[in-house]
Structure 1
Amino acid sequence: MLNIMVVDDEERIRLGLAKLIELSGDEFRVIGIYENALELLEHLEEEEPDLVVTDIKMPQMDGLRLIERIRERKPSVSIAIISGFSEFDYARQAIRLGVEEYLLKPVDTDELNALLERVRLKRIRERSQQITAKDDYIRLLAINGPDKLTDALKAEAEAALTEHPLFRDYYACFVLRASADRIQERIRSWSSGLNRETRVLSWELNETVLLVSIRPDDNTETIRSLGAGLLANLPVNVHVRAGTSGIYSSPLALNESYHEALTALHYAWYEEGIRVLASADKLAKRADEASSTLHRLIDRDFRSALHTLDSERAEAAIKTWIHEAGQTHLPWTLLNEHSALLQTLVRDEKAERGFSQEEETEAIYPAGYADWHEFGRALLQFVQEQTKLLSELQQDNRIIETVKGYIQEHYTEEIELSKLAELVFLTPSYLSKLFRVKTGETITDLIISLRIEQAKRLLATELSLKTYEVGERVGYADPAYFNKVFKKIAGLTPKEYRDRVRI
């Protein structure tokens, strides 16, 4: 809504102009009609005009002086002037004072409508920028503790927010996490009917922050009542966790208020149900001893079981940890640390056992899950899958080592894939694939490599042996084939190789 004041010493003109403005649309409202500049100035402080439309030549105080006085008191107000042709010099001076428009009498309706729409859009942009700027200051103070901001920046933010209606008395902070990402409009719609100043903000995935003004006669019960009403207004199928802060008064306390509400939300995250609200003043005490015990369950019990591939003991340790962490409502900071430690232990164990980690699973952290129970299930599933994978890896490693040991003892003989497969109780095709995946080479590659390395040693040390005899010693009965394979691997024929190493 654009609020407009009209001043002209001619009654017919000022009333006619006011009528034209009202006919221009519901978004334009005349809040004052005055016959002289002094009368308008008397009402200027009590009104909040967006636009003043003034005549230039008026008794007592002309339009130019009026513009100067308005600029002194309310510099952001837009001003338009109306005048006849004979007053054009005045109009030119007014334009220099930064007026929005110059309209000739009689006022053209289309020109007036264009002026009103232009001022309306200008006001929308200005208010949007003001809101955005204030929201930026709110985010700045909420996310960063006082010790992380310079004194100048804190003073700037405080000055920008002190006059904000939200901080005139008191306020409380609500932080919500929801399974749907389109609840902000519902929150805005609900908060607009509260008859309280509110701000709805978002700066984390699925996290919405609501600031609500608190009256001097309100109390913590008011905050809980507001929180309950907020949750009741959200869609019934949306999974929501919410936390509320206590009552605060200064913008510089935004960080404390936000983190208090966030801590309450983390507490609510542990509880069962579609919607849970936790108040900062109702949080249960948390024991440091419990945190230390929980850490040992992972760093000692789980680590030991993982290293010995005792999957049952590893799973039991994590189940105990999940139960105890849920009972104590372990703070998210510690929950993140414990989760990171667990996943690091698994990753390091896999790396130590030569496991390829190109297809790593996504990290498991509380922020990615709707509640504690969903997070706990994901963590347990992760442990079960990874311990199973490590057990399979251990078995695969034993198979590969058995096959390699047999080849090293019998590489000079004819080794059939079927015989190797029988040795480790696998099908030939599966063994062939497993060997290639685990070692990066085929079984044939390994046999050839061992034969050629032995041939090189014999060529260099057993000079009495003919080259074909060396070939026979390492498993090649056909001299031509031995020469071909040797040259392919060594880059030289057996004779050339012997001649070179003898130099």
Structure 2
Amino acid sequence: MRIAVIEDEAPIREGMSKILKKINENYELVGKAENGKKGLELIRKEKPDLVILDIRMPDMDGLTMLSIVREEGIECKAIVLSAYSDFAYAQRAIELGIENYLLKPIKIAELKKALEQAEVNISKEQSKEQLFSLEYIFLNAITGQLDEDGKLADMITERYGIRGDEQIAIFGIGLSDNYDRYHEMVRRTMEEVGIHSNEFHFYVIEFQEKGSIVVILYQLEDQDKIKEYFKKTVVPMLGSQIPGRLSCAWGNCRGLLNIRKAILEMDSVLEWNLFFDRGTLISKRLIDATQTYPIKYPIDIEVQTKEAVADSDRKEFLSSLRRFREYCREGACTPQDMKEACSRYMMSLLHVAKESGKLESSVSMQNMITSISDAIFWQDIEEAFLTFFENLSLKNIGEDGVSLLVQKAIQHIQEYYNQGITLEEVAAKLHVSEEYLSTQFKKQTGRTFTETIRKYRIENVKELLLKSTLKLNQIADMVGYSDPKYMSKVFKDEVGMLPAEYRKKNS
């Protein structure tokens, strides 16, 4: 509880902070003032939860100060201290909504009781206020738990200006596995967009478990104009800031009670990410205006992929998978048709792999098909197929438990470690995503890609230190460090001593 003390008697004013800490160490004294005029400035600045004030003070008495506070709508509780038991003072104080009226000299027990009661009342009001917060209102609207209550509707209109039948727009942002990395940036971006617009009010709600963010727009000046702004400015802005998985959808409804229905409808259009290009603002209106055609299953691509599976030919497998995706996209078929074709494609590959003994029976066919049917990004489908192929590689995994994919990544590190090779470049060479390679690399080697490059460089630095008379700047250049000082720092972090010490000790 944040407390301000306004009292003209210095001993009481100065001693109050010690008394408050003794009563409850969580009480925070936000300031003190010796008269009502300075006390008013303090209250305006700090907005305390509770004010402890005297009545008779110079410049401005306590009750006059409190009446101004009430007129200005500053919400705070008040406990009055007074050496006078005059009924007129007490009556005026009660009219101003004080918590308690304590006579001087103050008894610690009475003050403690008054403070505890004030804290209880503040807590109750804060809880009540939370029940009518925008977060409470919108979350209950989204979950369908907002009651059709006339009094509540009137309160929402009075407090937030949201009428029962007004147009509400919903901007949905799907991040999937990008959520943890980018959700804070997305929130900041959306808040910046909302703050600088006078054409709508907004509220941002995050759904971590779904990997998505919902922005509710209300009090709209012109919904079509706002939607066009989001389409041409906001969506491209997010697309440039967020690599990988990103979906943007638009929905609308009339009134808070229809928000849940609008969001459920918006969820159902997200799979159209499989159809539209990245950076498209997807809406039901856009989908309804899109012409689609039945897909003709590409048997020829399936045959080529089966051959790649039989030969454990990763390059051809990835090439066939890429052709299959392009075929589905160019065919302008619905997302449902695409996923059904992908499921059939996967089933045929699983069958040939198991028949040829290249796939362990423990691999769950159902999990792979489910991953495809639930997909809203092509990356989800591709990763299901990559997982399938990695399981094919179990027969070719070496004694060290490292798959062919990771072995090739390590070979690239060994060959190009001194040229600043990056995870992105290696992933591109191996035709897999950065995320997939990074996960498999860490899982199978116990180290990250960056840690492995650093370790390989340091081992080569050790060898050059002991087997040559090269200077540190020459060694740094040979192993891919542009700055010998930075190389020395990394070397010490890894080995526990500087390069020069290591050369001297081991020569």
TM-score range, shorter chain: 0.3 to 0.5
Q: TM-score, normalised by structure 1?
A: 0.46
Which has the higher Rg, Structure 1 or Structure 2? 1
TM-score under structure 2 normalisation? 0.46
